[in-house]
Amino acid sequence: MSQPRILQVRTKILKANDETAREMRRRFEAAGVLVVNMVSSPGSGKTALLEETLTRLRTRGTSVAAIVGDLETDNDARRLARSGAPVRQIETHGLCHLEAAMIDEHLAGWDLAGLEMLFIENVGNLVCPTSWDLGESVRVALLSVTEGEDKPLKYPGLFNTSDLAVITKTDLADAVGFDRTTALANIERVRPGMPVLEVATRTGTGIDAWIDELLLRRSSLLRRG
């Protein structure tokens, strides 16, 4: 027996989320804010990369802020605050993704006109976040070399809905036997033409290219506006 009522409820929830996300995107674009939604599994090095990113961008005079999603604790927000950037934590208490209304609520009191980039560190999950638009300018799928080359094939939804892929912890590739060629081929198979960056936060490899990509995307946003 089918369950149309459950499907209808989900459809209504997603519709409401998308409406909120569209309105936030309009506000972000009007203010010239590049919003980066970072999605990955737990342990991919997302927080370490984001801390380094916030620190380097602030050093270059870019106004940045971050919103962090976790099921529990404010551990990641406290880590990111070491960068000197404004950071707010969302504890979802079991919910496996962030929603547009959560982001909208945590924007209260922030002057968007004074921001150039806003980073959203989504809850560590490769499935749930894919359906939820947060009003972002760019969705980034992060893949750690420690996770294996087949993640894009196992979780195509994330890569299909992302604008950029970042392979992290590349300094550990040899130690874990990571096959770079296969990983890149799998990403290309799932999302043909999607740009892929490769970084190692601990050694700094690839970080400059990542920062340049973010700055380029904000410049493109301003030109479109």
% of the chain residues with pLDDT over 70:
95
Tokens of 136: 């972002």
% of the chain residues with pLDDT over 90:
92
pLDDT for 76 equals 93
Examine the pLDDT at 10 and tell me if it is beyond 70.
no
For the segment 118-144, the average pLDDT, to the nearest whole number, is: 96
pLDDT for 5 equals 58
CB atoms within 10 A of CB 107: 19
pLDDT for 224 equals 87
| pLDDT, mean over the chain | 94
Q: Domain residues of the chain, as ranges?
A: 4-224
Tokens of 78: 């406290």
Architecture of domain 4-224: 3-Layer(aba) Sandwich (3.40)
Residue 78 one-letter amino acid: R
Examine the pLDDT at 14 and tell me if it is beyond 60.
yes
pLDDT digit string (tens) for 160-172? Answer: 999 999 999 999 9
| Closest alpha carbon to 221 in 31, 49, 72, 74 | 31
- What are 131's strand-pairing partners? none
| Interatomic CA distance for residues 115 and 53, integer angstroms | 15
pLDDT digit string (tens) for 79-97? Answer: 999 999 999 999 999 889 9
pLDDT for 3 equals 54
For the segment 100-105, the average pLDDT, to the nearest whole number, is: 97
pLDDT digit string (tens) for 195-210? Answer: 999 999 999 999 999 9
Examine the pLDDT at 11 and tell me if it is beyond 90.
no
SS (H, E, C) 137-204: CEEEEEEEHHHCCCHHHHCHHHHHCCCEEEEECHHHHHHHCCCHHHHHHHHHHHCCCCCEEECECCCC
Examine the pLDDT at 173 and tell me if it is beyond 80.
yes
| pTM for this prediction | 0.93
More confident residue, 7 or 37: 37
In the numeric block, the tokens 């799928």 are attached to: 141
